[in-house]
Structure 1
Amino acid sequence: MIAKLPYGRGFVACDLRGLRVFELKPAAPRGQNLERLVAEALQKPLGLPPLSQLAAGKAGVVILVPDVTRKAHLPVVLPAVFQELARGRVSPQQVTLLLACGTHPPVHLEALREHLGPLPPGVSVVQHDSRDQKQLVRVGELTDGTPVRLHRLAVEAPLLLSIFTVQHHYFAGFGGGPKMVFPGVAGYEEIQVNHGRVLDLSVDPPRLHPRCQPGVLQGNPVAEEILQVAKLRAADFSLGLVLDQAGQLAWASAGHWLEVWQEGIATVQAWYEVEAGPFSRIVASAGGFPTDHTLIQAHKAFDAASRFVSEGGEILLVAELAGGPGSPAMEPFLDDPQPEAIATRLRQHYVQYGHTTLRIVDKTRRFKVHLVSQLDPRVARQLGFHPVPNPQEVLDRWREEAPGDTVGVMAGAAVYPRWTQGEVPCLS
């Protein structure tokens, strides 16, 4: 088998011939008609009247859309939404696209155009900035009393729509749905407080909370608070999407945001959870651009792949990382990149991407991780990776050392082990 692993906007070829291979891939159907899926979803909304009816008479519409770190096929999806709004006599001048960036930085105009596609003249585009105090409006509190602020445009919108993809999230259970509101258009401080609940502070040194796992919502303190806060200004109408292994649209549903999200979760569980492993060796791609542009984004696929590897095993990770680590907030944690030291620092002052650093170094300590990327080798080694210029060097050694072993290969979209809510593995 010769695997083509997505890498940036291209591929890296890996010759796996002579190795026994188990492909870790989703069961999502391929070759769907994107326009048809979206049109049918909008024509048969769940729990709500058609969008055109909801939009009729509204003075303005705000549409929450994913930022450029998420694949959502907006150049195909948005025209169908604009068409429904036009049926409700909403003009493009009355529509604002609000990118739910969370704490991600804004992007330049060229990347924005590629992400959104051509827009009707008059449509406004705003990128949420979680640190811009002027654009935030208080709407409530977190469970500990921390004020919750959301973007003024979302709070005051006569009609608030959301478009999201549903997928596993490595510590918040699932993405999409309520995450479009919180943390999507929330203030920086409250996002940090919520994400800080990923640490279990009942032990010393702190550990990762055992319920903050992909696919787990019940008993997950991060996910439960996200859901609670999102209800303070829930979307009035939503369009949910699920992608296939190649990143193409495979499922769509529209209507009440919670019903759409729940249907999307059921679809993702059926397609993206598999029974396999553990393997002593695994090859994984971070999925190509944009999900392998920075280490912060590529870590999600890395985390998924690691869940199929036996303790002390080897991972060959292919991720371009042309954007580097992804945040300067990771740099202070490289001074003492030991999991215990990072966890102690996070207990004193939680930093979102410090947590990402903790997750990375926890895995590079437990597994031998070979990294094919453009990341500065010095930074890669600080994080515990073993940079390699050519993946074939690793594969040839595997072929010589253990020709009879089965190698797991995650060449496309990330998949996760299938478990029930009561069988969630407890990570260190």
Structure 2
Amino acid sequence: MSHDPIAVSYGRGHLSVSLPPDAVATLVRKQPLPKLADPAGALQAAFSKPIAALPLAELAKGRKSACILICDITRPVPNGLFLRPMIETMMAAGIPLQQISILVATGLHRPNLGDELAELIGDPWVLEHVRIENHYARDEAAHVDLGHTPTRHTPVKLDRLFVEADLRIATGLVEPHFMAGWSGGRKVIAPGVAHHETIRTFHSARFMEDPLAVQCNLVGNPLHEEQLQIVRMLGEVYALNTVLDEDRDLVCITFGEIIASHQAAVDFVSEATNIRFDRKFSTVVTSSAGYPLDKTYYQTIKGMVTPLDILKPGGTLIIASECSEGFGSAEFREAQAKLVELGPERFLATLTAKSLAEIDEWQTEMQLKPMRLGKVALYSTGLAGDDRRLTGVTMVDDIEAAIAESMALSGDRDVAIIPEGPYVVPRFAP
């Protein structure tokens, strides 16, 4: 029996994947959520009826300055929808425009500049009239030291521009995150605008190897608990959270006190994102969610970790990621070279003694999870030369042949396909 080709997210478009005739396909998609018919109206409603907070117009009254955090280019947040209305509401309440700033929460990623910044902001008026800065985690002078978290003693240093603002608002996207449970809300602050020591503590083995530091879990998740403690140390903070569907259209927007408004967005999307299966698969085909998440191999590892719950031990995980920008940082390349040289066990042994992870080494540590479970095969048109070797996984030039090979190897005709990659979380629930 022939199958219709399946469109898998890849770069700015899709990859058409045809399955072998004898394959039995299971499509793994989020449950459909109703699109917001009037996003601008929904935004104003969120501002005027916030969660556990006063309306934005009242919050802004009497404030001398404001700082708005936005995610960097790796997250498709609809900044063009909300930045100008948010800023205009602040101005109408009396905050001078020159005292309002936007800070790009880069974490340890590179800054977003030029055309990329224009794409990220999504509004020429904002780009022209508002002070916009990138966060630089390695700039010592740019951070305020708030001490250490009470429970796990994480050093807390945050970007001065945000800490010293009179009104502080984080904005972001709520989607599954393979360690912190969910992105958005408190995560935009730490690691978003945190000092490299704070970030590298989060990324050390004692957090990364914790069985509760997984996608869609906030209960007992050590990263989430530390992030909440950091928010409480910082004091009064608000957040605007967005949820998008598979078409990148807005389905939910919340505004209010940062912890409560984030939880409301998580509650909204959680059920639709966690898809339960009573069986596992020997062949799982997934993506890195397309642009902008699949710009680098570094980000691709998220797509490898998220579907592991439904991969049979010894099975094959096939992932498509364009990697249009190549590999990732020099530090990540170094970590991958060490993995390829030492092998998974010896590489992990070098990590467990460290209280601070090397920059970007933690992503290589996450790659150990799929490698422990089965075989990883990567289809990418953006990686060339030595980059392909340094992935440490099997590179394939033909996804359909890789699927057929996996089916033949396992003797299992069932194939799970996750077109949207890590934005969907399949769960094994027998």
TM-score w.r.t. length of structure 1 = 0.89
User: After superposition, where does 1:187-336 map in structure 2 within 5 Å?
Assistant: 187-196=195-204, 198-199=206-207, 208-234=209-235, 236-276=237-277, 277-333=279-335, 334-335=337-338, 336=341
Aligned to 1:307, what secondary structure does the other structure show?
A: helix
Aligned-pair CA distance for 1:137:
0.9
Which residue does the alignment assign to 1:204?
none
Aligned twin of 1:426 = none
* Counterpart pick for 1:135 among 114, 136, 142: 142
For 1:149, the equivalent position in structure 2 comes to 157
Q: Which residue of 2 aligns with 1:57?
A: 62
Distance 1:398 1:343 in 2: 28
Letter in 2 for 1:9: R
Instruction: Establish whether residue 21 from structure 1 lines up as the match of residue 30 from structure 2.
Output: no
* Cα distance in 1 for residues equivalent to 2:154 and 2:263: 28
Instruction: Give the letter for the 2:316 counterpart.
Output: E
Q: Deviations over 1:65-93 (max 9, x none)?
A: 11111111101121231232243233432
Match status 1:177 vs 2:191: no
The change in CA–CA distance for 1:268 and 1:380 in structure 2 (over 3 A counts) is farther
Which amino acid letter does the alignment assign opposite residue 281 of structure 2?
Answer: F
- C-alpha change, 1:146 and 1:397, in structure 2 (3 Å) is closer
Report what 1:80 is aligned to.
85
Cα distance change, pair 343–17 in 1 and its aligned pair in 2 (3 A): closer
Q: Within 1, Cα distance between the matches of 2:194 and 2:55?
A: 28
Partner of 1:67: 72
Q: Percent identity?
A: 27
Equivalent residues of 1:51, 1:237 under 8 A apart: no
* Match status 1:116 vs 2:118: no
1:188 to 1:257, Cα distance in 2 relative to 1, 3 A: same
Structure 1 pair 197–364 and aligned structure 2 pair: CA distance change class (3 A): closer
Instruction: Measure, in 2, the Cα distance between the counterparts of 1:411 and 1:305.
Output: 12
Contact 1:361–1:384 (8 Å) recurs in 2: no
1:387 is matched with: 395
Normalising by structure 2, report the TM-score.
0.89
Alpha carbons 1:364, 1:383 under 8 Å: kept? no
Residue pair 1:212, 1:220 contacting (<8 A) in 2 also: yes
In structure 2, the CA distance between the partners of 1:310 and 1:324, relative to structure 1 (3 Å rule), is: same
User: 1:292 aligns to what SS in structure 2?
Assistant: helix
Which of 3, 23, 38 is equivalent to 2:6? Answer: 3
Where structure 1 has 5 or more consecutive residues not aligned to the other structure, the ranges are: 201-207, 424-428
Task: Go from structure 1 to structure 2 and tell me whether the alpha carbon gap of 1:367 and 1:404 turns closer, same or farther (over 3 Å shift).
Answer: closer
Q: How far is the alpha carbon of 1:32 from its aligned partner?
A: 2.9
Question: Which residues of 2 match residues 343-382 of structure 1 at below 5 A?
Answer: 343-349=348-354, 350-373=357-380, 374-376=382-384, 378-382=386-390
Secondary structure of 1:38's aligned partner: helix
Work out the CA distance in 2 between the residues paired with 1:96 and 1:107: 16
In the TM superposition, what is the alpha-carbon distance from 1:107 to its structure 2 partner? 2.2
Q: Could you tell me whether the CA contact under 8 Å between 2:280 and 2:428 is conserved in 1?
A: no
Residue of structure 2 equivalent to 1:101: 106
Residue 192 of structure 1 deviates from its aligned partner by 0.8
CA distance in 1 between counterparts of 2:305 and 2:154 reads 30
Quick check: 91-100 or 27-36, which moved more? Answer: 27-36
The Cα shift of 1:291 comes to 0.5
Residue 411 (str. 1) matches residue 419 (str. 2): yes
Deviation (angstroms), 1:367: 1.9
Any unmatched runs of 5+ in structure 2?
Answer: none
Per-residue deviation, residues 268-289 of structure 1 (Å, max 9, x unmatched)? 3111101124111111111111
Deviation at 1:135, TM superposition (A): 0.9
1:88-115: CA deviation from partner (whole Å, max 9, x where unpaired): 2334323100111111111221101101
**Residues 234 and 67 (structure 1), Cα distance of their counterparts in 2 relative to 1, 3 Å cut:** farther
Residues 343 and 358 in structure 1, CA contact (< 8 A), matched pair in contact too: yes
Query: What is the identity, as a one-letter code, of the residue corresponding to 1:411?
Result: P
Larger displacement relative to structure 2 (383-392 or 237-246): 383-392
Q: 8 Å contact 1:365–1:384 — kept in the other structure?
A: no
What's the offset of the Cα at 1:36?
3.1
Contact 2:104 2:135 in 1 (8 A): yes
Say whether the 8 Å CA contact 1:181–1:234 is kept in structure 2: no
CA shift at 1:199, angstroms? 4.9
Cα separation, 2, equivalents of 1:166 and 1:92: 28
- Shift, 1:260, TM fit: 0.6
